[in-house]
Amino acid sequence: MPCNSSTARMNKADSTTVTLDQLRASGMARQAFTYWFADHGHVRSPFPPYLRAELRELALAAFRGWLLKLDPKAQEEMNEEAAFGKFEELMFHEAIRLVRTEDEALTLRFPFLPRIGDRISGGELEGRAGDNIVRKRSLVSEGKDEYLKVEVEHVASGTGWETRFELP
């Protein structure tokens, strides 16, 4: 998601003087919250509604704390994209600490992968063709590789099957 020029102006300010009110009013924060707290076609919000108000304040405070630790050279070298990326990183980090279930944490870690309740196509595979519904997800590790195991129910037959996705 692109940043706007108000982010750059905020970045050029002395980070020791940036207040939470300034961050709250910044285009960067407004744009990040607006984007990530809404669905956009194939991109769904990974943030449960119950945590959004608290998350706003925690993410802003975490970002301000990060700014306060930057040395002057790092402040000077920071650009919109780097600031925005760091803000989003902190927003996701804080949200993981607020979620109530492991599945919500999985959604935050992997916001673009299938979620419980999603309908997926089984392709042309026997016993999976047509609609299927994701019923359960979990992490599986094999050595240093990590996978998302997805347990699925075939709608027509009620038969369960599973698959897994290699994680980045």
Whether residues 96 and 58 fall in one domain = yes
Looking at the structure, do residues 51 and 78 belong to the same domain, yes or no?
Answer: yes
- pLDDT number for residue 128: 86
- Residue 14 is predicted with a pLDDT of 55
Above 50 in pLDDT, residue 125? yes
Domain residues for 83?
5-100
* Span 141-148, average pLDDT: 93
Q: Are residues 26 and 76 in the same domain?
A: yes
- Measured from the Cβ of residue 38, the count of other Cβ atoms closer than 10 Å reads 11
Judge if 55 and 83 occupy the same domain: yes
Q: How many domains does the chain have?
A: 2
Global pTM value: 0.82
Same domain, 79 and 156: no
The candidate with the shortest Cα–Cα distance to 131, out of 110, 103, 159, 150, is 159
Q: 36-91, pLDDT tens digit by residue? A: 999 998 889 999 999 999 999 999 999 999 999 999 898 888 899 999 999 999 99
Give per-residue pLDDT as tens, 1-34. Answer: 444 444 444 544 455 678 999 999 999 999 999 9
**Ranges 73-82, 120-129, 158-167: which has the least confidence:** 120-129
In angstroms, the CA 146 to CA 19 distance is 40
Q: What is the predicted pLDDT for the residue at 47? A: 98
Q: What are phi and psi of 95, to 5 degrees?
A: -65, -40
Is residue 113 a part of any domain in this protein?
Answer: no
* Residue 110 falls inside a structural domain: no
Residue 106 resides in a domain: no
Q: What is the DSSP letter of 106?
A: H
Q: Please identify, among 51, 72, 100, the residue that sits at the C-terminal boundary of a domain.
A: 100
- Asked whether residue 30 is assigned to any structural domain, the reply reads yes
Query: What secondary structure letter does DSSP report for 47?
Result: S
